[in-house]
Structure 1
Amino acid sequence: MIAVKKRITGFISVLLMVSMIAACSPNQEGGTSTPNSGEKGNTAEKPADTNKPVEITWWNFPTYQALDGEVGKYEKQLIEAFNQKHPEIKVNLEMITYDGGPEKLNVAIATNSAPDVIYDAPGRIIDWAKKDLLAPLDDMVTDEIKNDIAPAFWKQSVVDETIYMYPINTAPFMMAVNKTVFEKIGALDLLPLDKPDRTWTFDEYKKALEAVKEKAPDVIPSGFYAKSQAGDQGTRGYLANLGISRFLNEEGSAVAINTKEAGAALDWLVQAEKDGLVISGSASLAAADVNDLFLQGKLAFSINYSAVLRAQNAPLKQAEFEDVLLPYPTLDGSEPKLEPYLGGMAIFNNDDEAKITASKTFIDFVANDPEWGKKSLIQTGGLSVRNSITGLYDDSEYEYSELARKFVTDPPTIADGYAEVRTFWFPELQRALLGAASGEEALNTFATKANEAITKAKAATAK
């Protein structure tokens, strides 16, 4: 790791010398650069020009809902507001997509051209932190802030008790149901909407699926998918709760989902597909395929949803219906265990203290500005990670999402080797769905491979 760091530092030094000689002029378009420009701030090489702003580059997935149909428009407004208070810092915005963004980040890291700031989730951020690619953020977090955020969120934001992600927005991952379908078939009483916590049993869920199959034959009762890693949190939460188990143990040190109950739940899923209760061909479907069917009104239940996704999906609906949030059913009706979506910001350590300091100032504005902090939270469609910030929306589903936070459990992203662990999940689901293995066999094979990856990663981290 130290050797890698030295190579990175040396390469950046070369780049700085080249840029000094080239004396390229910076972008003058008011704080944003075009997505393919590849420009980064180069203020450090001209110490004589002390009035020149420090330039930082912010790469952002479509974290915020588009304004007027324009992706990135809100981000530009946010930067303009930031510059009214901090004209000494120039923020170059580059929007990236969920499809190509992860690979683009990998390439940028490999070529020592990572952005300064990123808004992302723990799955990638903590992996970068473990590879010594990020700047610590401990000096940004006061005791007041630390005590206002639940330990479960901090656990996803630190490595060896050092903070590398500044947590901002959250929402529990759960299911959604097309409530309008159940109203039309006169079966609304089959949904647990009259219970404040909306918990329900596996048998109650199956009765709801059977009602859709019988009374709404043009609607697919429920969805599933196993083509790629995207949306894997939905499949994890669904099977773990149907089998009253956890994906990983509480320490994140080993797989826990390979139980007889979870294996039986996976076997039921395979049979349910044959019985027409679950979409056919799920082994070859991606999360986006199933989500599109739900937005078209052709699917009664979506297994991968949250308040954030509900907000993002609202303008994408191709049919008029009311989507309502539900927790995953459990075998015995016990409280579900829901993985939390968590969004936050991190800083790549590009060996420039001025840029790191400027990046911290920008993150503090995004998260804590009295006006734009709240405005930005609402624009994500998520809830605040702060216990003291509630009631952002006048909406019953957001009220339920706030309540459902009590079901949040530790996510697998905290595990060493998580990036490799998740690569074994869908192949084993596919084996079961295609009849090549029983549910229990598939989960045991997954556990063996995943536990080896966790052990290997833990050993590598300890060196």
Structure 2
Amino acid sequence: MKKKKVVSILLTSIMLTGMLAGCGGKSEEAGSSGDKQTIEFWYHDGNANSNAIFEELIAQFEKENPEYEVEYVGLPSDSYLQKYNTAIATNTVPDVASIRDQDVSALINQGALSCIDEDFESFEEKEHISESALNAIRNCSVDGKLYCLPQYTQPQIFWYNTTLMEEKGAEIPATIDEFMEACETYADPDNGTYFYSLRGGAGSLDNMLDFIFTYANQDSFFDEEGNCVLSDPIFAEALDTYASIYWNGWTSKDSVSNSYKEMVAEFGSGTAMGIANNSSALAENINNLGEGNFTNALAPANEEGIVVTKDVPFMGYTVFEGAKNREGGVKFLEFLVSHDAVSYFCEKDGRVPVNDLVYEDEWYQNNAYMPVYEEMMSSETVKFLARPLWLPEWSEFLSKVQEPGLQAVLMKEKTSEEVLQEWAEYLTNAQKEYLESNK
């Protein structure tokens, strides 16, 4: 196999400019290298592992499609979006690029991404790509169209220390009532151990929202008029229940400021038997606890047996509107979301595939954690809640409104009703402004 050169680039940050929106715009003249057409591909997290994976995948693609040559660019994960925005502003975009769910809406709103609905209809494996993941992508655009395709997901899940639970005689709770009972029963503040590590600091949104929306048995942020539902009384009851884990001393005092690092550390040290986090916690759990000492499980259900969890968080690939080789880009995109490519990537990088053909692969069948994700993606009792990633104000809401609001509730500086009303007003204004601007 020939070695693929890993390309690194340094681009100067400049002011963003808009581009004309379109759906499946025409390509410029395709790049070429001798008799081959060049496809320029950027990946958002170019590290040693992903670079090696794409070296193999690109070699496979080029073997199957000798008319193409893929130029790979691995970008630093902490600055890739800046590189994308600079390329958009200077009309130097690649043909294909990886994209995270949280960035899709902003790029669509710039008119930077090519609509691929019509292209997708001709993909051989289109019926095998998770409809839940596709719906999550459609939720990112006001027109409900596809501007990227998913390769893997990182579902929100519960992790439990099974070794510690067996010692204590604890069982994995199936319902919110059982979960709250376990939090009370196994809290031992005198010895600094608890059933659950609550996340009250940075990144606290997902765990809190999953709990209160499951409790309320609702799976939409807004009503038909664009009003945020968080001001409904049931959510105050739900948030009070969630906050009572902290109020009652059923989780560590540090939980009020716990971010991912502290929460996973409490789980890994045995301070807590359980945490809620996405599938990416696996590697750290293995490092801290060792294989065979923990497991994953669906979140506790409400009285109706329903679990409401965040809309399928995806990582996928897009074709840029300004692609020089759109046809080649679409061809490579189809390959990246195909069975062979998804299986290879997910096995080597520890990700959860969204192409169901992978479910029959030996590595997947032998993976102890994948069945729970497969159940989540297909179960009729799991409902997905679309976070309003399309709102330009969403990031500000998280850092300046939601995080301090939750901490104010935990510290009893504000009531749940007061904080939820603040959240609802903020998001209602943002949603109605967004809907008005996209009429």
Same fold (TM over 0.5): yes
Answer whether contact 1:237 1:337 (CA < 8 A) is retained: yes
Q: Structure 2 unaligned runs (5+)?
A: 13-27
Q: Is 1:77 the counterpart of 2:56 in the alignment?
A: yes
Do the aligned partners of residues 393 and 216 (structure 1) sit closer, same or farther apart at CA in structure 2, a change above 3 Å counting? farther
Question: 2:239 aligns to what?
Answer: 266
Q: Within the alignment, does 1:93 sit opposite 2:73 as a pair?
A: yes
Q: Return closer, same or farther for 1:330/1:400 CA change in 2, 3 Å cut-off.
A: closer
**TM-score normalised by structure 2 residue count:** 0.79
For residue 161 of structure 2, the aligned residue among 145, 155, 178 is 178
Does residue 362 (structure 1) correspond to residue 332 (structure 2)? The answer is yes
2:413 partner SS = coil
Aligned to 1:59: 43
Q: Which amino acid aligns with 1:363?
A: L
Correspondent of 1:157 among 114, 137, 160:
137
Task: Work out whether 1:121 is the aligned partner of 2:77.
Answer: no
Give 1:150-229 correspondences, 5 Å limit. Answer: 151-158=131-138, 159=141, 160-170=143-153, 172-187=155-170, 190-192=171-173, 200-214=174-188, 217-228=191-202
**Residue 170 of structure 1 contacts residue 341 of structure 1 at CA under 8 Å; is this kept in 2?**
yes
Question: What amino acid sits opposite 1:426 in the alignment?
Answer: E
Is structure 2 residue 294 aligned with structure 1 residue 289? no
Listed as ranges, the matches of 1:224-239 within 5 Å are 224-228=198-202, 230=203, 232-239=205-212
Partner of 2:276: 303
Deviations 1:268-313 (A, max 9, x none): 333322433123244433233323432344332212233xx25444
Structure 1 consecutive aligned stretches of length 4 or more whose deviation exceeds 6 Å: 44-49
The share of aligned pairs that are identical, in percent, is 17
* Pairs aligned (count): 409
When residues 185 and 431 of structure 1 are mapped into structure 2, their CA distance, relative to the original with a 3 A threshold, is same
Mapped partners of 1:416, 1:264: distance in 2: 28
Equivalent residue runs for 1:399-438 within 5 Å: 399-405=371-377, 406=379, 407-413=381-387, 416-417=390-391, 420=394, 422-423=397-398, 424-438=401-415
State whether residues 342 and 353 of structure 2, in contact with CA within 8 Å, keep that contact through their aligned partners in structure 1.
no
Counterpart code for 1:290: M
Aligned counterpart for 1:385 among listed residues 354, 378, 391: 354
Using a 3 Å threshold, how does the CA distance of structure 1 residues 260 and 305 change in structure 2: closer, same or farther?
same
User: 1:416 & 1:220 partners in 2: Cα distance?
Assistant: 37
Between the aligned partners of 2:225 and 2:74, the Cα distance in structure 1 is 34
Report the alpha carbon displacement of residue 452 of structure 1 after superposing the two structures with TM: 0.7
Which residue in 2 is equivalent to 1:9? none
RMSD over equivalenced CA pairs, Å:
3.5
Within-5 A mapping of 1:6-45: 30-34=4-8, 36=10
Whether the 8 Å CA contact 1:223–1:282 is kept in 2: the answer is yes
Q: Which residue identity does 2:335 align to in structure 1?
A: F
Specify which structure has the bigger relative contact order, considering alpha-carbon pairs within 8 angstroms and separated by 6 or more residues. 2
Q: Does the Cα contact within 8 Å between 2:161 and 2:294 map onto a contact in 1?
A: yes
Q: CA deviation at 1:209?
A: 1.9
Give the deviation of 1:458 after TM superposition. Answer: 1.6
* CA–CA distance in structure 2, aligned partners of residues 149 and 46 of structure 1: 29
Deviation digits for residues 98-125 of structure 1 (CA, Å, limit 9, x no counterpart)? x554455455545655554332333311
Query: What TM-score, normalized to structure 1?
Result: 0.75
Q: Give the Å deviation of 1:366.
A: 1.6
Note the 1:130-141 alignment, pairs <5 A.
130-141=109-120
Shift of 1:387: 4.8
**Alignment-derived partner of residue 456 in structure 1:** 433
